[in-house]
Homo-oligomer: A and B are copies of this chain.
Amino acid sequence: MVADARVYEELKANILRGDYSPRQRLVEAELCEEFEASRFAVRAALQSLEADGLVERQRNRGARIREISLEEAVEITEVRMVVEGLVARRAAERVTDAQAATLREIGAAMRVAVASGDVGAYGDLNVRLHQTVREIASHAKATGIIARLHGQMIRHQFAMSRLPGRSSVSVVQHEAIIDAIAARDPDAAESAMRAHIASVIEALRTIAEADVRRG
Which of chain B's residues have a CB closer than 8 A to the CB of A79?
83, 86, 141-142, 145
**A2 at interface, CB cutoff 8 A:** yes
**A23 at interface, CB cutoff 8 A:** no
Chain A interface size, under 10 / 10 to 19 / 20 to 34 / 35 or more: 20 to 34
Q: How far is the CA of A52 from the CA of B148 in the complex (A)?
A: 12
Other-chain residue from B59, B78, B139 in contact with A142 (beta carbon distance below 8 A): B78
**A102 at interface, CB cutoff 8 A:** no
CB of A75 within 8 A of CB of B44, answer: no
Q: How far is the CA of A107 from the CA of B94 in the complex (A)?
A: 38
Q: How far is the CA of A79 from the CA of B149 in the complex (A)?
A: 14
Q: Which of A47, A78, A79 has the most CB of B within 10 A?
A: A79
